[in-house]
Amino acid sequence: MRLLLDHNLSGRGIGGPLRANGHEVRALQEESETEGLDDPDVLALATSQERIVVTRNSRHFGPLGREWAELGRQHAGIILIWSFDHSQFASIVAGVERYLAAYPQQEQWRDLVVGL
């Protein structure tokens, strides 16, 4: 599965295990050129690359997903992490993996927003 980890998630602690499980992960935290990228631009970047956004920023990405739906804009999916601290790597990875197993085809994620 193609994923984009938002700036607030560890590329090593979360991206590493997801990569080891066979997913193609882009972690913004590992890229200095994406520092300061606004949330709408993060979602647009993920959409252009057909990647599911994984973020702890549910405060912004929840409404952003709703806004895109109301405008008829499609995105490649959003996984909102609400219940875990950013350092609970194993729990976050396990939760993401459960959703990816439930929706194993990239196209099943089109416009889907889920929360952990």
SS3 52: strand
pLDDT in tens, 28-77: 999 988 888 999 999 999 999 999 999 999 999 999 999 999 999 999 99
Instruction: Tell me: pLDDT of 85 over 90.
Output: no
Strand partners, 27: 5
Q: Which pLDDT does position 14 carry in this prediction?
A: 95
Q: Does residue 102 surpass a pLDDT of 90?
A: yes
Give the per-residue pLDDT at 15: 96
Reading the block at residue 67, the tokens are 């806004």
Cα–Cα nearest to 30, from 46, 15, 52, 51: 15
* CATH number, position 31: 3.40.50
Domain that holds residue 82: 2-115
Domain count, the chain: 1
Residues 57, 8 contacting (CB under 8 angstroms):
yes
